[in-house]
A and B are shown apart, each in its own frame.
Chain A
Amino acid sequence: MSNSYPFGFLDEYAKKEIRRTTLKAVALPGYQVPYSSREMPMGRGFGTGGLQLTLSLLGKEETLKVIDQGSDDSVNAVNLRSFIEMTCKGINTTTKTHEADIIQSRHRIPEKPLREDQLIVLQVPYPDPLVVVEPSEDKRKTLHGEADYSRLLVKLYEDIVKFNEITISHRYPTRINDHYVIDPSPIPRWDVPKINQSKALILFGAGREKKIYAVPPYTKAEPLAFEDVPFRVEDFTDENSQRRACKRCGCTNSFLDEFIDSNKGEKVYQCSDADWCDEQGGSNITEDRTPEVTNESLENSNKAGGLAHG
């Protein structure tokens, strides 16, 4: 059955359009370029935007890595990978960050710094950061054009008034190249600084919302904040002011997932990036990785905890 699909599933015209859109997105850092998102054999909102980008950009003999919240083995990543393997004959897949030419990711940027010859595709559910403050797309386009993000900053202001701190845990609005503010997809705050002056090209695909945008290599990416209330990433220190370590590899400088050990009933922490964890020595430990937290539970913990853990 798979032989009947053209390489990359999409027809050549579709791929051409997506590549041209991508070029435009690269030329206008942070600008959301509309494109005619194609129907994919999966529901919109399940990563179709990222998938279309990957299918259009991937070439024979290139190596692909697909991750879902840091893990190569969770449902979304596994299914996308096997779909791409089926429709792109001749490509290689890997779980190793440094081996990949293209990394398609849902909600994480790998811990290992990316290189200039690599490219990361992020799946985006809501491309426009202004959607929370302005329902009309027409008016949003004007606000973007004039770089008027005062209403987003008012949201941050209100957060500080209420909670003494900016409480956005993921999708942190980030200003690209001193003009457009993007929704960097639901990556945790931890990953936002990685966008700044990234060596690798970062592409964002929103299939349902039909938008593609990009942060080109070596581009300034600045999370919105106040002069005297600067942006900060998640703080993983415990009650004793000790940085929590991954219980599997012992790493103390990675983004940690928190979950409950079902046998002991206590909180445990583990690297969110599975490949990173293995590389830090996690693979030598006989104990398997605790099954990845589901998206729901993570989102809940984000809502409930926010930056609270630590």
Chain B
Amino acid sequence: MDKVLEVNKLSKIYGSGCPSCFELTGPEYNTNICPRCGSVVAAHDVSFELYKGEILGIMGESGSGKSTAVKCLYFDQEPSSGSASFFNEGQQYDLFTMNAAQQRRLSNHRFGMVYQNPHLGLNFDISAGGNIAERLLMSDVDNYAEIRSRATGLLSRTEVLPERMDELPKNFSGGMQQRVQIAKVLATNPPLLFLDEVTTGLDLSVQAAILDLILEIQQEKQTAMIVVTHDLGVIRLLAGRTLVMKYGRVIESGLTDQVLEDPQHTYTQRLVASAL
């Protein structure tokens, strides 16, 4: 199988940091705030691999560091230590040693991020079609007719009526906005997608439809995805493998079925038991 992403000992500390930060925090200490220096250890020693067409779930409660890990990989934040390699078309990119311009180029062309809040992923001052056009224009498509037809195709793929492509996203419902966001992300055909709590805050039927869409895209394009969520249902439906995080540490990882049916760590056991 083709490896898409390899993450090695990724750590992120907010604050000055001290030598005992990692020793005095974590699930055993029930905190991620270092008692010596007061820094927050948002993520520590996160390592995993991701293969083509695979969906990796990262599960955990608020503040467990799951979003931080993904934001580091999408260059929204800078990690304190660790390394990550992205493999694409026979090339290997060492994510954290590239300069800012190379990072932006890679995230614009080869990565896609779908945020929980569509305001972060979409420009609400321009039309839905314009949002998609922006991604296409970034990757040097400069033919108006082609942009129109590709935007129409993407919107119909994500089941947004193409007749509404020239409307502003603020006129859309939450589920529709999320679909436009996904269409925008798909514009450049990225081999790697990050999905940060994409269904949180949507009603159940819309959630189901969005999750179906994500699965279809995975099947169709063999896109590798990292799904960050606190929702066990989402994990069960989407993810093949799962990491469970708590206080910035990965406390359990494995095949999703295994993790959910036979949880080893007490926290995971509690989490699974408390699920509705």
Q: Do B147 and A157 have beta carbons less than 8 Å apart?
A: yes
Residues 115-158 of A at the B interface (beta carbon under 8 Å): 142, 145-146, 148, 150-151, 153-154, 157-158
Docked CA distance A145–B100 (Å): 11
- The answer to whether A148 and B138 have CB atoms under 8 Å apart is yes
Q: Please give the number of chain A residues whose Cβ is less than 8 angstroms from any Cβ of chain B in the complex.
A: 17
Do A227 and B144 contact each other (CB < 8 Å), given the known contacts A145-B101, A146-B104, A161-B127?
yes
Closest chain B CB from A62 CB (angstroms): 43
- The answer to whether A153 touches B137, judged by C-beta atoms less than 8 angstroms apart, is yes
A146 neighbours in B (Cβ, 8 Å): 101, 104-105
Provide the bound-state CA to CA distance between A146 and B133, in Å: 19
Any chain A CB within 8 A of the CB of B134?
A: yes
Task: Check B127 against A150 for contact (C-beta < 8 Å).
Answer: no
B101 contacts across to A, CB distance below 8 A: 145-146
Q: How far is the CA of A150 from the CA of B134 in the complex (A)?
A: 6
Q: Does B166 contact A (CB under 8 A)?
A: yes
How many inter-chain contacts with C-beta < 8 Å in the A-B complex? Answer: 46
In the bound complex, CA of A161 to CA of B138 (Å): 19
Contacts A145-B101, A146-B101 hold; do A157 and B138 have CB atoms under 8 A apart? no
Cross-chain contact A151 with B134 (CB below 8 angstroms): yes
Q: Does B266 contact A (CB under 8 A)?
A: no
Q: Complex: how many Å from CA A153 to CA B131?
A: 11
Q: Which of A148, A157, A228, A229 contacts B130 (CB 8 A)?
A: A157
Contact A154 B144 (CB under 8 A): no
Q: Is the C-beta of A160 less than 8 angstroms from some C-beta in chain B?
A: yes
Judged by a CB distance under 8 angstroms, whether B142 is at the interface is: yes
Q: Which residue of B lies closest to A226 (CB)?
A: B144
Q: How far is the CB of B157 from chain A (nearest CB, A)?
A: 20
Known: A150-B134, A153-B137, A157-B137. A229 touches B144 (CB 8 A): yes
Chain B, residue nearest A146 (CB): B101
- Determine if B126 is an interface residue (Cβ-Cβ < 8 Å): yes
Q: Are B143 and A154 in contact (CB under 8 A)?
A: no
Check A227–B129 contact: CB distance below 8 A: no
Interface residues of A (CB under 8 A from B): 142, 145-146, 148, 150-151, 153-154, 157-158, 160-162, 226-229
Q: Can you list 20 A-B contacts (CB < 8 A)?
A: A146-B101, A148-B138, A153-B137, A153-B142, A154-B133, A154-B137, A157-B130, A157-B133, A157-B137, A157-B144, A157-B147, A158-B126, A158-B130, A161-B130, A161-B166, A162-B166, A226-B142, A226-B143, A228-B145, A229-B144
Instruction: Give me the interface of B with A, judged by CB distance under 8 Å.
Output: 100-101, 104-105, 126-127, 129-130, 133-134, 137-138, 142-147, 166
